[in-house]
A and B are shown apart, each in its own frame.
Chain A
Amino acid sequence: MLDSNKDSLKLEAMKRIVAMIARGKNASDLFPAVVKNVACKNIEVKKLVYVYLVRYAEEQQDLALLSISTFQRGLKDPNQLIRASALRVLSSIRVTIIVPIMMLAIKEAASDMSPYVRKTAAHAIPKLYSLDPEQKDQLIEVIEKLLADKTTLVAGSVVMAFEEVCPERIDLIHKNYRKLCNLLIDVEEWGQVVIINMLTRYARTQFLNPNMNESLLEEGNDKTFYGSDDDEDEEEEEEKKSEAPMPKRKPYVMDPDHRLLLRNTKPLLQSRNAAVVMAVAQLYFHLAPKVEVGVIAKALVRLLRSHSEVQYVVLQNVASMTIKRRGMFEPYLKSFYIRSTDPTQIKVLKLEVLTNLANETNISTILREFQTYIKSMDKDFVAATIQAIGRCATNIGEVRDTCLNGLVQLLSNRDELVVAESVVVIKKLLQMQPEKHSDIIKHMAKLTDNIQVPMARASILWLIGEYCEHVPKIAPDVLRKMAKSFTNEEDIVKLQIINLAAKLYLTNSKQTKLLTQYVLNLAKYDQNYDIRDRARFIRQLIVPTEKSGALSKYAKKLFLALKPAPVLESPFKDRDHFQLGSLSHLLNAKAGGYQELPDWPEAAPDPSVRNVEVKDSVQEVRTTGEGRISLLGEWREVFTLLERVATLTSVPEWTKCSSREKRKEKKVEKPFYSDSEGESGPTESADSESDSASGSEIGSGVVGSVSGTASEESEEGSESEEEEEEEEEDEKDKKMTMKKELKKPVQESESEQSSEEEEERKHERKKSKARKSDSESESDEDEDSESESSQSESEDSESEAEVKKKKKAAQSKPPSKPVKKESKKEMSLLDLDDFEPAPSPQVTPLNSFLSNSLATDLEGLSLSDAVLSPATLSPCSALKSYELLHRIRGEGLSVEYCFSRQPFSPDANMVAVQMQFTNNATSETKNLHMEEVKLQSGMRVKEFPEIELLPAGETATAVMGIDFCDSTQAANFQLCTHTRKFFVSIQPPVGELMRPVFLTENEFKKEQGQLMGMNELSEKLTLDAECRNEHAIVQRVTAAANLSRVPCGSDRECRFAGRTVTSGSLVLATVATKEEAAAQLTVNCEKMVIGTMLVKDVLLALTQ
């Protein structure tokens, strides 16, 4: 059937084969027939063939190779689904020969534009690693690359790969730590679990123990643990503190990143996925300050409603937690009450938790509860309850007698198991204070007649032997009875009989000498060698003979030594050295691949490693500025301003300048934040449609920073970071997209800062503080303390800030034209008015103030020239207009749009689309706006501001931004007026999906060299008659695509370069002219789809 031409027959055959596999039957002999169908067009057949291949390829390596080419083809398919599934299967067939192919495929997929494919690549990494561990180094590179990925889809998978391949390379996480923390909530649930577990380990290596000051006392806690309440512990801690000379420690200040982690994981306690809840719970247990751990109790108790397997695991962990932190589960005591329908293993675990929770205040309720349990039909459970009672009795002195009495009553129970268990427990309890309870011992001695359970019998005998002085009359009698039944006893009982005999011989030899001899003789011929050994040993020891050495003198001491009472301990004690929630913890044994939870470091490693470097693309800087603008609630205004200015100068450079200024400002301000308790936070949240959450977060941040400043100067830097984080948090709700990008630049500036000299920093800090307090009235807390002293410096600092700003602008725009300078100045004015209070611009001599460090600082900053080029280098060819709405269809309203080729300032990943509305009707049109944007996934749109009124005959323009995700898919939306709606769509030519970049000839060649092979597309063409000179070629190419020309030594070649707007992939184009009209067009682009389309478009442009 597999050879048939009909897909349906093939499908039927494959279904049968898969059913065979599912049942575990061997279908490997069909391999050749199946593998042929790997190229089958029918998707379902294909899928089943894949299933088969993955299952049997390992066994039939040679034949499996036949299929590889299909997958390789699949890897280049334009459909991301096919690319992904090809990679999945390719990496799943465990054939060693194809390791290099897999490696190549993974590398390629890791930079695929589809996040789904990248996710698949992340999945493939551990597969390859398990197949060939020697590839580790290369794989780590890929992991490093993928860790930097910003999509939530990839995050979980790549961390998984990280955990499997290189969990020891904790250094790879530094740069991504904050990103992971912030993405966490949006990652799919399985990824969350993996990330949280990894971050727990990470935090243990990077941060200080939040309970550091208490850690010394922990041992003390353990001792007093059962007897005392938490408060008492606290007191004792105090005492200890005063008594023992504690090593001097700095007051503990939590690293802001540590706080970030705790804060971002907390909401996940409300996840529906038990594994996520557990992961967060263990994170809090291992990382959070003592006072904060309590929050997890509620969530864990909730999980007890879940499936019994979940309960089992959760209870195990709760049991471990209750040992250390009893207090947090006490309010939920009743949730651990046992139902008769619970499975036994759950009952036993609940019992364990109840026992751990028992203290003086609740013991009576717990014991009452235990009493009901003892009546249960489930005997194992009853036995466990009795043990639990015993433990309560040893731990809580007050109830010891009550418990003992209760247990003694149980001795008359009809069930032997219950009695036996009670005996064992009573024995342990009696050891604590035997004097008081000789009557109980007597009672138990009587039981020897009835009880048959060996363990219980042995316990009784031991007890009588041990305390034979308390029952001098009964003991010999018991021995007599036992001697009689000796041969029929179990081994452990026999051993105890010998023990009893020996002890009695030593204390009361008159009465028991013969009995002992008799017992020892019986034992001498016992079948068990242990018993024979014991008998021989004891005989030598206690019966004085000539040969007996020095030891017999000490016999009494040996046998009747005072034995310490056993401590009844929870089996869960000390289990928490395993990471909670892990398999190893559950089994209390190290599972393969378990990563030890490291101890807290003595001193925190450098926190600056988590700062993200400057090199991250510049476009994000811009968003920062905008992000802040929008926060101030002045989006609209700024937007219109932007337009006005854009038309004014036709150079949209200002946004960048302003944002740079912004950043500059931030930088200058930053130390200020750390002192003035996040003053900007509240202002912002007041302006934004305040959500109360942000308020509280700021509040907590404030507390943090207060203590930060109080403690240590050197922690200033990190503290201020926290403030920044705080701000981002605020924005999160409103500006999800903004936020992610915003993060980077903030940290950029931080890292710059930290690279500066400490001296410099302090200096600056003071100054800027002064500046703030001088120029702004809101910072009241600050003013009291600092303002007078720094008044005098304020001017300096202002000017310095200004200088920096200027300097930066100057540095970063070497080729700028005078026009731009003008615009820049103008805009800086504007933005000062608009954004937030800042020093008014003063013209100060450049250079004069510049310190060395600042210069280097700026060097580090040097923005890649990419940003500058659009205005400077793209030729001003007339922009092509497209019709969006015809005037007839639009009932008088006609709309045209063109790609303005100017960076869209609110979001650098968007393509700016300039729309021109013309009202040809006789009446005015109102409320022009967009609605119902329908987009392919991943695409985003920034709508143009509503045009409120368009009078008849008038024309208006507006700019909107569309993130096409580097695809030519159309953005559909409705254009609405006050009366009508029109469905319209904007589809970009591929040439508009890029922005020009400036490259030198060498850079160009270098980049081109890296984009060879599959990424290079070449096409021969014949140039159009009017297009045979260089100028015409340049004009046509740049008209077709938003590229900039690259200088070139050869006059036969024209080169162009650009980057795609969304992903920033490089696009290089070369037109090499040959004789006559012949020419060759070469496009290099890592996005093959873009490349292919671009070739078509440019070809058309040159040959039309």
Chain B
Amino acid sequence: MIHSLFLINHSGDIFLEKHWKSVISHSVCDYFFEAKEKAVDPEDVPPVLQTPHHYLITVHRGKLFFLSVVQTEVPPLFVIEFLHRVADTFQDYFGECSESVIKDNVVTVYELLEEMLDNGFPLATESNVLKELIRPPTILRSVVNTLTGSSNVGDTLPTGQLSTIPWRRADVKYTNNEAYFDVIEEIDAILDKSGTTVFAEIQALCFSSHNPRLLDDVSFHPCVRFKRWESERTLSFIPPDGNFTLMNYHVSSQNPVAIPVYVKQSISFFESGPCGRLDITIGPKQTMGKTVEALMVKIHMPKAVLSANLTATQGNYTYDLPNKVLVWDIGKLNPQKLPNLKGILSLQAGAPKPEDNPSLNIDLRIQQVAISGLKVSRLEMFGEKYKPFKGVKYVTKAGKFQVRT
């Protein structure tokens, strides 16, 4: 299956390699670099490349490329999913998944990779299991380690490996047990020029719910018992220790979705003279009585736009010239005084007028409400004598929320 893994940074240096079978020279990566040269954006590098003797499957995460070499037939998603899992594990262990962090912890990374794959086949990918095998570095532990010379490698077999509940260690004991459920819903929508909804659906990362009939499509953490869900629409599970995503659900475009804000915009470029005009106003629409927070508008400007001279009635804006991104950070939306951004865009002299208008990407957050109307109606815990602390939090966010102009 997975033969080798190369970690490559943005400038094209291979800074880590690991082989699970015979060693493969890192010259195979040249095919990848070739493809990368061709692509405008790192996102555009094809995830699967064919070379004379190998196949390269690449994942782009946090400015890093995880490039795996495969020699034989293997489901590409299998590899992609695994590489993302590797990146998730790094994130989980070191707080972020970046070149410097990986370089600093190269031995731990190597040990992790060793445990995660055996002969190219995933062995232990569950973070709880891994943490028992190889303890994550903390400041305290590194101090202790240097003083005592002890190691951060566990010497017992994680019990999870052996039980049918690989996501939880046996005998986890805490003085207080707390269960927090965050229901995070994201609205994906495309609004067209006139403000009509072209497409909208709700996606959610959720950490428990009850009787959500309208949910179209759900995916679960392996701890959730499918049968119970199918028969009773109850989520029954033995939770892993720590943070985890219990379920993802999806309220599809066939159900009406409340769009929390409306956008009035006009962006135009003049035929004569190197400039254009921009005017955007945002107002609340269906917010269920809550305030819209962390409102932000991002506009990918056409290449010709050189600078923006705008005035915002609320918040402030920045224009990132190299990437041609205009960001308008509004913050809280005040229904009485609608935020507005108005001004002139200056274009490169001599460049033809951009023929299309950029689309707006909107980011927002509404606390204490799940826009789909989903509620956690009941939360029961079994098998524990004492009463654990339970809490549920709802957040609605904008996911891929785009306004076409």
Do A583 and B217 have beta carbons less than 8 Å apart? no
Q: How far is the CA of A337 from the CA of B252 in the complex (A)?
A: 14
* Cβ contact within 8 Å between B71 and A272: no
Are A270's CB and B162's CB within 8 A?
no
Question: Are A160 and B121 in contact (CB-based, < 8 A)?
Answer: yes
Which chain A residue has the least Cβ–Cβ distance from B43? A343
Q: When chains A and B are docked, how far (Å) is the Cα of A274 from the Cα of B70?
A: 19
- B73: Cβ under 8 A from any A Cβ: yes
* Residue numbers in B under 8 Å from A587 (CB-CB): 48, 50, 55
Distance between Cα atoms of A586 and B47 in the complex (Å)? 10
Q: Is the interface of A mostly helix, strand, loop or mixed?
A: helix
A950 adjacent to chain B (CB < 8 Å):
no
Task: Give 28 pairs: A residue, B residue, CB < 8 Å, sorted on A.
Answer: A8-B149, A11-B151, A21-B110, A24-B14, A24-B17, A43-B155, A44-B151, A47-B111, A51-B110, A58-B23, A84-B157, A94-B22, A123-B118, A124-B119, A160-B1, A189-B222, A272-B221, A277-B219, A299-B219, A301-B217, A302-B217, A309-B60, A310-B80, A334-B253, A335-B252, A584-B73, A587-B55, A691-B232
A21 to B106, CA, bound (A): 10
Residue-wise, chain A 571-604 has the 8 Å CB interface mask toward B (1 for contact) of: 0000000000111101101011111000000000
Contacts of A733 in B (CB 8 A): 227-228
Binds A, one of B278-286, B288-296, B333-341, B351-359: B351-359
Counting CB contacts under 8 A, is B369 at the interface?
no
Decide yes or no whether A1023 CB sits under 8 A from chain B. no
Is B122 at the interface (CB under 8 A from chain A)?
A: yes
Q: Is A1049 an interface residue (CB 8 A)?
A: no
Report if B31 contacts A (CB, 8 A). Answer: no
B254 proximity list for chain A (CB < 8 A): 331
A-side interface size class: 35 or more
13 further contact pairs, Cβ within 8 A, besides A22-B16, A692-B231: A19-B107, A21-B110, A197-B75, A270-B229, A274-B81, A279-B75, A337-B199, A339-B402, A584-B73, A586-B48, A592-B71, A593-B73, A934-B171
Interface string of A241-265 (1 = CB under 8 A from B): 0000000000000000000000000
User: Top 8 A-B pairs ranked by shortest CB distance?
Assistant: A593-B72, A44-B151, A8-B149, A375-B356, A343-B43, A81-B157, A594-B73, A309-B47
Q: Given known contacts A310-B81, A691-B227, is B74 in contact with A270 (CB within 8 Å)?
A: no
In the complex, the answer to whether B151 meets A42 with C-beta atoms within 8 Å is: yes
Contact of A116 among B151, B155, B157, B229 (CB under 8 A): B157
CB distance from B60 to the nearest CB of A (A): 7
A278 at the interface (CB under 8 A from B): yes
How far, in Å, is A829 (CB) from chain B's closest CB? 37
Interface residues of B (CB under 8 A from A): 1, 14-19, 21-23, 26, 40-41, 43-44, 46-48, 50, 55, 58-61, 70-78, 80-82, 84, 106-107, 109-111, 114, 118-119, 121-123, 125, 149, 151-153, 155-157, 159, 161-164, 166, 170-171, 188, 190, 192, 198-199, 201, 203, 216-222, 226-232, 245, 248, 250, 252-254, 300, 302-303, 352, 354-359, 361, 400, 402, 404
* Known interface pairs A42-B151, A120-B118, A592-B73; A273-B161 also in contact (CB < 8 Å): no
User: A94–B22 Cα gap in the complex (Å)?
Assistant: 8
Specify which of B59, B75, B110, B231 is in contact with A693 (CB 8 Å cutoff): B231
Give Cα A937–Cα B125 distance, bound, in whole angstroms.
20
Contact A193–B119 (Cβ < 8 Å): no
User: Is the CB–CB distance between B106 and A19 below 8 Å?
Assistant: yes
Question: Does A367 reach chain B (CB closer than 8 Å)?
Answer: no
Q: Which of B77, B109, B110, B121 has the most CB of A within 10 A?
A: B77
* B60: A residues at CB distance < 8 A: 308-309
Verify A23–B231 contact, CB threshold 8 A.
Answer: no
**Bound state CA distance, A50 and B149, in angstroms?**
20
> Are B77's CB and A314's CB within 8 A?
yes
Least distance between A153 CB and chain B CB atoms (Å)? 7
Cβ-defined contact, B80 with A307, below 8 A: yes
Q: A126-B119, A335-B201, A337-B190 are in contact. Are A193 and B75 (CB under 8 A)?
A: yes
Determine if B118 and A274 form an interchain contact, defined as CB atoms under 8 angstroms apart.
no
Task: Decide: A278 near B75, CB < 8 A? Known: A341-B402, A583-B48.
Answer: yes
> Which residues of chain A are near B171, meaning CB under 8 Å?
934
* A301-B217, A314-B77, A335-B253 known; A414+B355 contact, CB < 8 A: yes
CA–CA, A345 and B48, complex, Å: 12
Which residues does chain A contribute within 8 Å of B156, judged by CB atoms?
A: 81
- In the complex, the answer to whether A583 meets B74 with C-beta atoms within 8 Å is yes
* B44 and A344 contacting across the interface, CB-CB below 8 Å: yes
Alpha-carbon distance between A120 and B118 when the two chains are bound, in angstroms: 9
Q: Is B73 a contact partner of A310 (Cβ separation < 8 A)?
A: no
Say yes or no: is A267 at the interface (Cβ < 8 Å to chain B): yes
In the assembled complex, A130 has its CB within 8 A of some CB on chain B: yes
Binary CB contact string for chain A from 15 to 26 against chain B (1 if under 8 A, 0 otherwise): 100110111100
The answer to whether B163 and A937 touch across the interface, beta carbons within 8 angstroms, is: yes
Query: Closest CB-CB distance, B206 to chain A, in whole Å?
Result: 12
A126, A340, A582, A586: which contacts B300 (Cβ < 8 A)? Answer: A340
**Chain A residues in 8 Å Cβ range of B1:** 160
User: Is B109 a contact of A22 with CB atoms below 8 Å?
Assistant: yes
Find chain B residues with CB under 8 A from A301 CB.
217, 250, 252
A190–B125 contact, CB under 8 A? yes
- Complexed CA–CA distance, A124 and B121 (Å): 11
Given the contacts A127-B119, A275-B77, A309-B59, A22 and B18 also touching, CB distance less than 8 Å? yes
Residues of B within 8 A of A6 (CB): 149
Q: Which of A42-58 contact B (CB under 8 A)?
A: 42-44, 47-48, 50-51, 55, 58
Cβ of B46: which chain A residues have Cβ within 8 Å of it?
312, 345
User: B80 to A309, Cβ gap below 8 A?
Assistant: yes
- Specify which chain A residues have a CB less than 8 angstroms from the CB of B18 in the assembled complex: 22
CA distance in complex: A583, B3 (Å)? 15
* A271 interfacial contact with B, CB 8 Å: yes
A92 on interface, CB distance cutoff 8 Å: yes
> Which residue in chain B gives the minimum CB-CB distance to A88?
B118
Residue of B nearest to A50 (CB): B114
Residue A788, interface by CB 8 Å: no
Please give the distance in Å from B82's CB to the nearest CB on chain A.
Answer: 7
A298 at the interface (CB under 8 A from B): yes
With A and B bound together, what is the CA distance between A114 and B159 in angstroms?
12
A153-B162 contact in complex given A15-B107, A313-B80, A583-B73, C-beta closer than 8 Å: yes
Which residue of the partner chain, among A47, A116, A341, A582, contacts B162 with CB atoms under 8 Å?
A116
Given A127-B119, A190-B78, the answer on whether A272 and B222 have CB atoms closer than 8 Å is yes
Which residues of the other chain, B, contact A594 by a CB distance below 8 angstroms?
A: 72-73
Give min CB distance, B255 to chain A, whole Å.
12
The answer to whether A339 and B400 touch across the interface, beta carbons within 8 angstroms, is yes
Q: For residue A80, which residues in chain B have a CB less than 8 angstroms away from its CB?
A: 157
Chain A residues near B402 (CB-CB < 8 A):
339-341
Q: A197-B75, A693-B230 known; A44 and B152 CB under 8 Å?
A: yes
Determine if B151 and A313 form an interchain contact, defined as CB atoms under 8 angstroms apart.
Answer: no
In the complex formed, the residue of A with least CB distance to B50 is: A587
User: Is residue A152 contacting chain B, with contact meaning CB distance below 8 A?
Assistant: yes
A376 within 8 Å of B by Cβ? yes
In the bound complex, residues from chain B placing their C-beta under 8 Å from that of A197 are 75
Complex Cα distance A752/B71, Å? 45
Residue of A nearest to B357 (CB): A375
Question: Is A345 in contact with B162, judged by CB distance below 8 angstroms?
Answer: no
* A window 147-174: CB within 8 A of B: 152-153, 157, 160
In angstroms, how far is the closest chain A Cβ from the Cβ of B76?
A: 5
Contact yes or no, A340 B359, CB < 8 A: yes
Contact assessment for B248 and A130 in the assembled complex, using a CB-CB cutoff below 8 Å: no
Provide the residues of chain A in CB contact with B199, threshold 8 Å.
334-335, 337
Q: Which of B75, B78, B198 meets A334, CB within 8 Å? A: B198
Q: Assess whether A377 is interfacial by the CB under 8 Å rule.
A: yes
Return chain A residues, CB-CB under 8 Å to B192: 372
Identify the interface centre among B71, B155, B157, B229: most chain A CB within 10 Å of its CB. Answer: B157
Does A78 make an interface contact (CB < 8 A)? no
- Determine the chain B residues whose CB is within 8 A of the CB of A589 once the complex forms: 50
Interface: A188 (CB within 8 A): yes
The 8 Å CB contact of A272, one of B44, B248, B252, is B248
Interface centre among B46, B47, B216 (most CB of A within 10 A): B47
